[in-house]
Structure 1
Amino acid sequence: MKHLVKAIVLVAIYLLFLTSCSGSSAPQAENDESGNDPTVEAVAPTPEPPVSGSKVEQIQFDSQALGKEMHATVYLPPDYSPDFRYPVLYLFHGYGGSHGDYFTYLHLDALADRLLQEDLIHPLIIVAPEYGNSFGVNSKPGEGNDPGSVSIGPYEDYLIQEIIPFIDTHYSTQASKAGRYIGGISMGGYASLYLGLTHHELFSKIGAHSAALWTYTSSDQFTDQRDWLYADERLRSGRDPFILAAPENLGEMEIYLDAGKGDALAEKDYELYTLLKTKNADVTWATAAGGHDAAYWGGQLEAYLGFYAGTHHVRSTP
């Protein structure tokens, strides 16, 4: 009898031990069909790294053409990767401006980020180079009547032979005509037309926004700059976009021209548009309220990026 009572007590103690180990408040789960023990806590998967934001870099290098250190501002899109080849927009500032103006004053990087997030443009690299008040041409001292503020030197060689190879070497670019665009504002609009039409084998898109152009009429603006740039007929024939707009320079190229309705340069820009149409160029004209100022350009930046990298085509406006 004593042995039976002792056995019952031992069994009771053993059952109490099992209950305390298993936790009586939580039901035991059965193994799932895969054979894994679901009572083992699953390890949470490592979260995907967040998409990196865009970057605005300041670069500098020694220009052999100009014999001095030069600079540029470079926009890299969010999640920039060396495993992907990006088209490049070379963007030129206006007279008296700086290569950082698009980002400091017009906040181009924030706009590009938003348009990318909304899937309105494709990822691209934007390069705003330093080029002084050179208009992007090769010039020499005494070659014209210097108005006192232009930048004289082989700036075309620097931009074409040094900037473009530097960018293609140091960044993951589409190093081809199809993946290379050029544009600018005011003097930069002239520079983009001049360089784009002169080196048409390098660029597939030209954007000239409120471009500085001249037709030698009484409505010409900034005539001191005109007379330096077009000091004689030889220089004018090699620099004037109205002359450079020949059919052989326009193949496989899109051109976007615009100016504010209150801009005195709008008349000249529209004249170039009508000329390009007669040459069967793929050209767009756009205009809106505004003048020759940052307020107008800031309001048009989305349309500009839409032209260069948009996921839809830009339409002309009367």
Structure 2
Amino acid sequence: MKLISSAVAGYDQYRENIPRGAMETVEYISRTVGSFRKAMVYTPPEFSSTTMYPVLFLLHGIGGDESEWHTHGSPQIILDNLYNDNLLEPMIVVFPNGRAMLNDRAEGDLFEPEKIKAFERFESDLLHDLIPYMESNYPVLTSRDKRAIAGLSMGGGQSLNIGLSNLDHFAWIGAFSAAPNTREPGLLVNDITKAPSLLSLLWISCGEQDNLIEISFGVHRYLAQHGVPHIWHEESGGHDWPVWKNDLYLFTQRLFK
């Protein structure tokens, strides 16, 4: 399925006098890394500790960390506006640091082999450390159909790699402008015959001017050939924030419905 649409004007602009969610930074113990690690957590407007929420894990690119979305992507504003327009299911959004190593800051040579390996190691950190932390400290639902993973660029590749190989954990997957860390299409899904029944949403998007578009298109082509339902969203723009913010706006509206 190909989707042609874009966000409405003002979707990422701060509005006065509307209910607001909260953004906070948390620390959790990562046994995968052997240290405390940080993540940012967004709780929706009118959040209640007695209500159970689905959860989206939203990943950053190679040059970012847990704060990259918050710094550049206006997620709190976008989500608050969507809630105010009754377009979004209440959910908790977690912004992890996808570079699972002791010094996980985005500094120095970002393409060092150990730093690239750290993005692969994040799969264990997410499944065995961060998800259990969220389930112990926030009122999040624990079933696979109430858990989503998505990300931009390097995080888009991680979302495909982790999500499609762990469909027992994630029913909702989104990849925005996936980077070259994305596995070859034939290696992404453990059992291509079971994927259609396990996926609630598989979203793959990329800007038309993005020089990495062949990565996303290759995944789209493979899935189409094998009858795996998904949304292929090709949009105006390159490898940049206007594209990813638009993706966040469109993708989140489809979650948990």
TM-score range, shorter chain: 0.7 to 0.9
Q: Quick check: 1:61–1:69 contact (8 Å CA) kept in 2? A: yes
Instruction: Specify the alignment match of 1:255 in structure 2.
Output: 202
1:244 aligns with 2:201: no
Whichever of the two has the greater Rg, that structure is 1
Instruction: Specify the alignment match of 1:72 in structure 2.
Output: 39
The unaligned stretches of length 5 or more in structure 2 are 1-16, 102-110
Q: Quick check: 2:99–2:115 contact (8 Å CA) kept in 1? A: no
Query: What is the total number of aligned residue pairs between the two structures?
Result: 228
Distance 1:69 1:176 in 2: 26
Cα offset, 1:198, TM superposition: 1.4
1:129 aligns with 2:96: yes
Instruction: Specify the alignment match of 2:253 in structure 1.
Output: 306
Instruction: Specify the alignment match of 1:110 in structure 2.
Output: 77
The unaligned stretches of length 5 or more in structure 1 are 1-49, 135-144, 214-225, 230-238, 312-318
Whichever residue aligns with residue 248 of structure 1, its letter is K
Cα offset, 1:151, TM superposition: 4.9
Distance 1:154 1:243 in 2: 17
For 1:69-108, list aligned pairs within 5 A: 69-108=36-75
Instruction: Specify the alignment match of 2:234 in structure 1.
Output: 287
- Structure 1 pair 146/292, CA: closer, same or farther in 2 (3 Å)? same
TM-score by length of 2: 0.81
Q: Quick check: 2:38–2:96 contact (8 Å CA) kept in 1? A: yes
Higher mean alpha-carbon deviation, 200-209 vs 154-163, is at 154-163
Instruction: Specify the alignment match of 2:156 in structure 1.
Output: 189
Instruction: Specify the alignment match of 1:273 in structure 2.
Output: 220
Question: What is the RMSD computed on CA atoms of the aligned residues?
Answer: 2.4
Instruction: Specify the alignment match of 1:142 in structure 2.
Output: none
Q: Quick check: 2:204–2:233 contact (8 Å CA) kept in 1? A: yes
- Identical counterparts, % of pairs: 29
SS in 2 for 1:282: coil
Distance 2:94 2:195 in 1: 24
- Structure 1 pair 119/149, CA: closer, same or farther in 2 (3 Å)? same
Distance 1:133 1:66 in 2: 6
Cα offset, 1:301, TM superposition: 2.5
- Structure 1 pair 167/66, CA: closer, same or farther in 2 (3 Å)? same
SS in 2 for 1:247: coil
Distance 1:188 1:260 in 2: 16
**Structure with bigger RCO (C-alpha 8 Å, 6+ apart):** 2
